[in-house]
Structure 1
């Protein structure tokens, strides 16, 4: 996502912004670094792009109360105006606008989402029919050429070409979607939520996140697979809003692994969250932003040890929204325990992207 012309602020973090767990080196939401422009497209890919582009859209997400905005991509999946995009593109907003290559813009609303899978469904306020991409009905094949369409580099719905490298990639972070398609396409900010298209012109995935090297170049790109009729797609079409469970913590991704005992270090406690009501504390910093004191160190969930933020996130999500859990933690060298009821991430505004 790049900065929106609606507002000057940029949603710096998108996917998984409610926590900041330890990052595998080079892992990032597809919203943070510049990309290398693709080579000129072969004739067959250019034809595919020209046929597919009218079905793609730019998605603007705005939250006026937080003076924040961002831009991603998406694509029509029906003539009636249903748009697939990445959940992290819209999870931080309250107002949404969808723009097409024909120059038309429409208001939209989020009608369904699956936060764990990082996919959302928008419905626009406008009359069709709209050009749309069919979802694939077959399994993708490693090695095939794929086409992405997005907004990175300040461009408007332009092509990014690559190869499909893997079908069931491990994210390396508990708050990123698992089991994604891995590609060599050079994706970057503004491409999140756009389609991954196979040689038949069918959408096989929704762009989610990227991995970068030390120089800031995209090393690998990842998309959530979508298949016509599968559980994910059917859930979205049925209007299901499936959020992830949270306690209300932002975790320290710098000092992980440096504490004894090991655990998930609390950097900040979200306002009006279960964690705040339970009295958990975050880290203290001075006026210059220097760390003065580490926050609470969460060492267990329901008696089961957690050694880092990823293990904590996995444990909490495995319990689910509305369930009470016991959190074991260490403060000032003393072991303590708190009982909290997990809530949906969207219900804690202070954790929105």
Structure 2
């Protein structure tokens, strides 16, 4: 046997000897050169992916994400729309029945049963059923939910040897291979391969996160499931699709791993995420708005409303102010402004540079804390 052959055989033996409760991926090399096939990768990460079922309340006209009364994008809609890629209503759940089963996906992040899924799948439920790849069903409690990032954490008790995966340490590049695994249509673990189409997608009608866009087909039941790079690291949590009819057309969005790393520890510790709050409604500056302000190249966010008694109102922010930077860092959109405010600690002060009455101006806002009732929905309706 040659030296090269011996080294390869030795490497195979090492991989085969990894204990079941060890992480199912490898972070040794983050270059994504694309596998010759996806079977080995799917076999390696599949045991960590779970199906998630939750009982949620359904209104008579319910069309909320994850459990639509009919496929998102009804026949009379001929333009693409943001639609939840996620869940579907379970068998026997009829509109107006008051309760239905939301079906989605998730994945274990530790051997002791902590798992990540999508917030919108859970509705107001504080428990869910999870099904592992070997068809075993467990009761899981909802540890925490975050409507802003559309993430939630579940906990299954009673075992400490669940297969689990890790979050990627590096952001993917456009063109990298991606493998999406989920509970498509409630059928059980299903894999779909594709590439990262784009990074840092800013969806004005979605949650305030920089989405990873992928072209792997995300279907109903896949929301909350992971998308992996070629080494088995989770690069995102599948959340949304863009579709003219509600069906997958290969344009899907995942909450990036960096966001998951920020949100999940807070959900595990205290069940919610602490964010700064300004008390102002903003929208991105369009060319028309920029022209009206006398600065065609102006970028940022224009204030369209100020909440009475809120931090922004107390600081003197007014409707029509065009905010161009936060703490002297330029912003390009309303979502970028929102992300910066959310990332700041309540009680801290942020400096806003802006254009008011066609003149440069600035002021400082002492932020409050975003309450759950003030948080925007994680998905568009």
Q: Same fold (TM over 0.5)?
A: yes
Residue 265 of structure 1: aligned partner: 302
Residue 274 of structure 1: aligned partner: 311
User: Hey, what's the Cα distance between the residues in 2 that align with 1:307 and 1:198?
Assistant: 29
CA-to-partner distance for each residue in 1:215-238, whole Å, 9 max, x for gaps?
773424435237xxx975995698
Local SS of the residue matching 2:164: coil
User: Hey, what's the Cα distance between the residues in 2 that align with 1:308 and 1:199?
Assistant: 32
Task: Verify: 1:55 aligned to 2:57, yes or no.
Answer: no
Residue 234 of structure 2, aligned match among 189, 199, 204: 204
Where do 1:1-353 residues align within 5 Å? 44=39, 48=43, 52=47, 55-58=50-53, 71=66, 72-86=104-118, 89=120, 95-101=125-131, 102-110=136-144, 120-124=152-156, 126-128=157-159, 131-135=162-166, 144=177, 146-150=179-183, 155=186, 157=188, 159-165=190-196, 169-172=199-202, 176-178=208-210, 182-187=213-218, 191-197=222-228, 202=232, 204-210=234-240, 212=242, 217-225=249-257, 235=265, 239=269, 243-252=274-283, 256-259=286-289, 260-261=292-293, 264-269=301-306, 273-275=310-312, 295-300=319-324, 304=328, 308-313=333-338, 316=341, 319-327=344-352, 339-345=364-370, 347=371, 349-353=373-377
User: Hey, what's the Cα distance between the residues in 2 that align with 1:150 and 1:271?
Assistant: 45
User: Hey, what's the Cα distance between the residues in 1 that align with 2:137 and 2:227?
Assistant: 23
Cα distance change, pair 244–215 in 1 and its aligned pair in 2 (3 A): same
Q: CA deviation at 1:109?
A: 1.8
Query: Do 2:182 and 2:226's aligned partners in 1 also have CA atoms closer than 8 Å?
Result: yes
- Matched residues, number: 282
Cα distance change, pair 144–306 in 1 and its aligned pair in 2 (3 A): closer
Q: CA deviation at 1:300?
A: 4.8
Query: Do 2:49 and 2:105's aligned partners in 1 also have CA atoms closer than 8 Å?
Result: no
Cα distance change, pair 330–54 in 1 and its aligned pair in 2 (3 A): closer
Local SS of the residue matching 1:55: strand
User: Hey, what's the Cα distance between the residues in 2 that align with 1:332 and 1:234?
Assistant: 42
Quote the RMSD (CA, aligned, Å): 5.2
CA-to-partner distance for each residue in 1:37-94, whole Å, 9 max, x for gaps?
xxxxx99489849953773434677899xx99754532223343211234x548x966
Which blocks of at least 5 consecutive residues in structure 2 are unaligned?
A: 1-36, 67-103
Query: Do 1:53 and 1:157's aligned partners in 2 also have CA atoms closer than 8 Å?
Result: no
Cα distance change, pair 306–257 in 1 and its aligned pair in 2 (3 A): farther
Q: CA deviation at 1:314?
A: 5.4
Cα distance change, pair 274–138 in 1 and its aligned pair in 2 (3 A): closer
User: Hey, what's the Cα distance between the residues in 1 that align with 2:369 and 2:182?
Assistant: 31
Which blocks of at least 5 consecutive residues in structure 1 are unaligned?
A: 1-41, 282-294
User: Hey, what's the Cα distance between the residues in 2 that align with 1:143 and 1:109?
Assistant: 33
Query: Do 2:117 and 2:223's aligned partners in 1 also have CA atoms closer than 8 Å?
Result: yes
Local SS of the residue matching 1:321: coil
Local SS of the residue matching 1:171: strand
Residue 22 of structure 2: aligned partner: none
Query: Do 2:324 and 2:331's aligned partners in 1 also have CA atoms closer than 8 Å?
Result: yes
CA-to-partner distance for each residue in 1:143-170, whole Å, 9 max, x for gaps?
546132045xx5465524012337x823
User: Hey, what's the Cα distance between the residues in 2 that align with 1:296 and 1:208?
Assistant: 36
